[in-house]
């Protein structure tokens, strides 16, 4: 029972996952923690780039930044972070991150209850140990994080992804669209040609360009290109190739702004990426081009997503590699513009039909 195992819990530290997509997939588990401990003060420890995912969330009370490139850099910084955590006198640490360092921090900070998977040689640092069973590891990452809580005896609260945009943020997105788009009755379609993990997850830019042109010519769509600062060059080249009817936003928005804009899209077409999970959490209709990754584990967790994948293209699939190990990138080159266009037309039609 929770009452006996975790009695008198007043302050909880939750160690976030380190990648945007992974962080979004922890949100159902984070919601469950709030429901199990409705009166506790919940603090999230997170790297700076994932913090925007959790802003405005009612499931946490505050966010503690893990400044790995600043105050908390290196071994001295790790010790400094442990001291910072110790000062807050947490009763319970729940570690979504599987690294040895996460358990070491909780141990050094003197947190009485430490919950985590027994991965990365950290068993001795945990006193509420949850085994990462093979079926759990082979399932979806949402269920993997929920499995950590179930293994610790906590009650689950469903697996719905959760992002919390304010009305002000959504209004800013609407105004930006009105400024950029001449006719607001045209379908708004987002393209996300990047992926931070590596080149293997990226569908060919020239095919995104051909797709964008067809969306504009055949549907009279307004196309927006999304991406972070590292994808700005690709975004500029893609916008130039598509031409009129395409607006490049890559590298020009914060993550929160991108989230609000994706929330306005009638369709989002993307590689397997963090923004894919944003669209899933906002329940936007989306087409996901899948190459070397395993959608069973990290695919979009919403009913409005459709995958375009050619599983037979490569005998190594899913290889999970950042770059194609056999050079020719056949898992992605096998996916044609016609395939993605067809899936897009079908999903747009379905999403526009009355419920």
Please answer whether residues 325 and 317 qualify as being in contact, where contact means their C-beta atoms are separated by less than 8 angstroms: no
282 secondary structure, DSSP code:
T
Give just the sign of the alpha carbon dihedral 66, 68, 72, 77.
Answer: positive
Give just the sign of the alpha carbon dihedral 211, 213, 214, 215.
Answer: positive
196, pLDDT greater than 50: yes
Per residue in 107-127, pLDDT (tens digit) is 999 999 999 999 999 999 999
Q: Is 176-352 in the same CATH topology as 2-151?
A: yes
Q: What integer is the mean pLDDT of 317-322?
A: 87
Domain at 2-151, CATH homologous superfamily: Glycogen Phosphorylase B; (3.40.50.2000)
Give how far Cα 76 sits from Cα of 68, 87, 100, Å: 11, 17, 17
Of 307 and 5, the structure prediction assigns the larger pLDDT to: 307
Query: Closest Cα partner for 334 from 207, 237, 211, 234?
Result: 207
Length of the chain: 355
Q: 176-352: which CATH number, 3.40.1160.10, 3.40.50.2000, 1.10.10.410, 1.10.760.10?
A: 3.40.50.2000
Per residue in 232-278, pLDDT (tens digit) is 999 999 999 999 999 999 999 999 999 999 999 999 999 999 999 99
- Measured between alpha carbons, how far is 82 from 85 in angstroms, rounded to an integer? 5
- Domain-wise residue ranges, the chain: 2-151, 176-352
The single residue listed with the structure tokens 């991150």 is 97
């Amino acid at each position: 029972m929770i009452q006996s195992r975790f009695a008198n819990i007043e302050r909880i530290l939750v160690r976030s996952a380190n990648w945007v997509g992974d962080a979004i997939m922890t949100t159902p588990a984070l919601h469950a923690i709030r429901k199990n401990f409705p009166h506790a003060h919940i603090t999230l420890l997170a790297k700076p780039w994932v913090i925007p995912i959790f802003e405005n969330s009612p499931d946490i009370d505050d966010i503690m930044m893990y400044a790995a490139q600043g105050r908390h850099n290196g071994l001295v910084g790790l010790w400094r972070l442990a001291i910072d955590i110790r000062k807050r006198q947490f009763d319970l640490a729940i570690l979504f991150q599987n690294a040895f360092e996460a358990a070491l921090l909780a141990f050094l900070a003197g947190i009485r209850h430490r919950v985590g998977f027994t991965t990365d040689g950290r068993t001795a640092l945990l006193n509420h140990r949850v085994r990462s069973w093979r079926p759990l590891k082979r399932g979806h990452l949402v269920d993997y994080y929920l499995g950590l809580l179930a293994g610790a005896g906590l009650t689950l609260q469903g697996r719905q992804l959760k992002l919390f945009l304010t009305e002000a943020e959504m209004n800013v997105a609407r105004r930006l669209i009105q400024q950029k788009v001449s006719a607001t009755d045209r379908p708004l379609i987002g393209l996300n040609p990047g992926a931070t993990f590596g080149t293997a997850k990226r569908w060919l830019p020239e095919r995104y360009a051909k797709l964008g042109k067809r969306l504009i010519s055949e549907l009279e769509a307004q196309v927006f290109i999304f991406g972070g600062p590292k994808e700005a060059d690709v975004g500029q080249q893609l916008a130039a190739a598509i031409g009129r009817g395409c607006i490049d936003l890559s590298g020009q928005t914060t993550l929160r702004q991108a989230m609000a804009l994706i929330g306005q899209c009638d369709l989002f077409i993307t590689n397997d990426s963090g923004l894919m999970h944003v669209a899933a959490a906002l329940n936007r209709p989306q087409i996901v081009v899948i190459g070397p990754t395993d959608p069973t584990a990290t695919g979009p967790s919403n009913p409005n997503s459709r995958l375009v994948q050619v599983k037979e293209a490569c005998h190594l699939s899913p290889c999970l590699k950042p770059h194609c190990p056999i050079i020719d990138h056949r898992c992605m080159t096998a996916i044609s513009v016609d395939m993605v266009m067809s899936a897009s037309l079908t999903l747009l039609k379905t999403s526009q039909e009355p419920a």
